[in-house]
Amino acid sequence: MSIEKIDLQIAYGAVKHFGRNLYTSNPPAITELIANSWDAYCTECNIFYNDIENDGDKKTSLLIVDDGIGMTDEELSGRYAISGTEKNTDSVRRPDGITLRPYMGRKGIGKFSAFSLGDSYVLYTKSDIDTQWKKMIFRYELLLEDRPTVPIAVEYIDSLQELKKFFPDLEENTTGTIVYIPEMRRKIISSSIEGLKNLISRRFSINVINNHDFSLKINSEIVDLSQHFYDDNLEFVYYFGTDLEEIKQRFPNIPENNFYKEDDEFFTNYSISGWLGTVEIPSQLLADENISISGVIVYIHGKLADEDILRDKLKNRITNSYFLGEVNADFLQNEEEDPVLSSREGLNKEIPNVQLLIEKLSKISNKLNSNWNDLRANRDIEKLDFLDKMLSTDSGLGTAFKFYSDKQQKQIAKLAQRVFDNDEKYSDAEYRVYGQAIFALVNNKVINEITIDTDTETFGEILKKFYSLFEKTELNAALRMKSNIEDRISIINKLKLIIDDEEVESVFEEHLAKNPWLINQYWDKPSNEIVIETQNKYKAIIQERKVSGRTDIITKVADEPYPIICELKREKVTAYSTPEISEITNQIYKYRRFISDEINRSNNPLRISNTNDIKAYFICGEKSKEKLEDLDLIELKNNNIELKTYQEIIRQAERVYSDRVRE
């Protein structure tokens, strides 16, 4: 004879304690119901959700369907209806031919997660000895009544047609259990099925799920349980409790030298396995367009037990935006006290073994955190997109970079990483300004002249000394940066006042020699002594060789391997003559040859094979530029001479630096 009702026992006020506020979002609540399907030896679990219109209102309905063993009358009354009882693998029927599974549930409270999803749910179940589906309706308000048990009526139905009218893709299994939430309290948290798939799949351990016949679908789309959405984005991994080959199989895209093994007897003795790692950019931790995940997950028997076991430890930009991990800690299930808090907020940190696990994982996290900058800076140059962007914003940056030593290039890469290595969007002007600051910093004598006794100092001492100095220098540069920009604004404003003056040539000559950044924003002079030395040196050569005419500027800048040449044409208030381009090109050719001969004769390791590699500029007023013919412009271009006007130089500099000051 079939049962007419079940007496749902509310042990220890379970509904009040584990009711609608058990979970604050949908994914963990859905996970609990999937875990119930797993424990029932389901081979395929299907999740359906859609918006159903009822009396003019739209509501989201949820359906979780499995093909597991279902529940007999006895199991329904003796197991499902009783809360707070210990569950294990021995208490569940196992179909013939199905491998024994680790039991994910423990206290029989997973069913209450349905009340986190809706104010009521409908349960359908059918075992292999049943000829009909058993149907029960559970309402949250009824379970709040002050009595030890609540009678729940059992209805028998021949088919699931009443569900198929809302979920046409539903296939009726011969056995299984179905949980139907007619009206969800919250909308599905993700904006897409893909997002929900990502959020759900990460709540199950790949190590467990992949060893059993189990599949999951959401609205008929397969959820890939063989990997998590961030697997392909991981860059550096510290692993433990497993071997290199196994971890490489999990992350085949990571180079072998980016794996770091952590040996600790604690992990070995308790059969704990897992990894901590970082992604390349923060957006790679977006499970959905608006939902980012980070932190170290702990799994027990394949199900998430703690979303971030290190949540109370020191947090910073790295751990919040780039860092995550997974730990399989099945040994915690053997604790006399339930290791998972009844609030489902994570592991109970009062348990000594949980405390010890946190301590061990914190050590690895701290190591990864402290080594992160070095690991990132030593990546292949093609992976440093932020550096490529900075160098490509202005062609001059890329050219200058090539002439720096390996040590200086690494310093530039490290500084660029700190500034740009995130998901923020920078304008070209910001890349130029920050790029100039980075190049200027690398030219700082304090960094370049650092001396370290490699014979007596340990590697750790060397590293500590360098970074201490590096951080101080970087900080000082940052503090000087705003003041430096404001000084440049002052220079620009002075030049604006004299732009119509007949003496503009001489004024510009003085300022350009001292402030080459006016011509190219990434340039900086190394020192006044070097500028004066370079000027005097080539003026002497010119006089010695009795070259007719004069050049206005031959000077050295910190970011160029060779001196630069600037020819200036004076503007007259009353008349604007057409510049003689052939004279300009001929003059610059002579100076390029002198510079080339001098460098090639010296002990300088640099050699000049093409004199046009020496940068040259012809600077005049806008009125003079207007008089130039197309052939004049072609001749300048063919001789690699860049044409600029006084007005253009001022506008460009003002645009870049004024924007930075306003910010």
Q: Assign 78 to helix, strand or coil.
A: helix
CA distance linking residue 427 with residue 412, whole number of Å: 19
Is the overall model pTM greater than 0.85, yes or no?
no
Cβ contact 225:206 at 8 Å:
yes
Which amino acid is located at 359 in the chain? E
pLDDT (tens digit, 9 = 90+) per residue, 338-374?
A: 777 655 568 888 899 999 999 999 999 999 888 887 7
pLDDT (tens digit, 9 = 90+) per residue, 177-188?
A: 999 999 988 777
Cβ contact 525:558 at 8 Å:
yes
pLDDT (tens digit, 9 = 90+) per residue, 518-564?
A: 777 656 554 444 444 555 556 565 555 544 444 567 766 655 778 88
Rounded average pLDDT over 272-290: 87
pLDDT (tens digit, 9 = 90+) per residue, 187-196?
A: 776 667 888 8
Q: Which residues contact 195 (CB under 8 A, 6 or more apart)?
A: 287, 288, 289, 291
For the chain, what is the radius of gyration of the CA atoms? 36
Q: Assign 43 to helix, strand or coil.
A: coil
pLDDT (tens digit, 9 = 90+) per residue, 102-157?
A: 888 766 666 778 888 898 999 999 999 999 999 999 998 877 777 778 888 999 99
pLDDT at residue 163, rounded to an integer: 95
CA distance linking residue 83 with residue 15, whole number of Å: 10
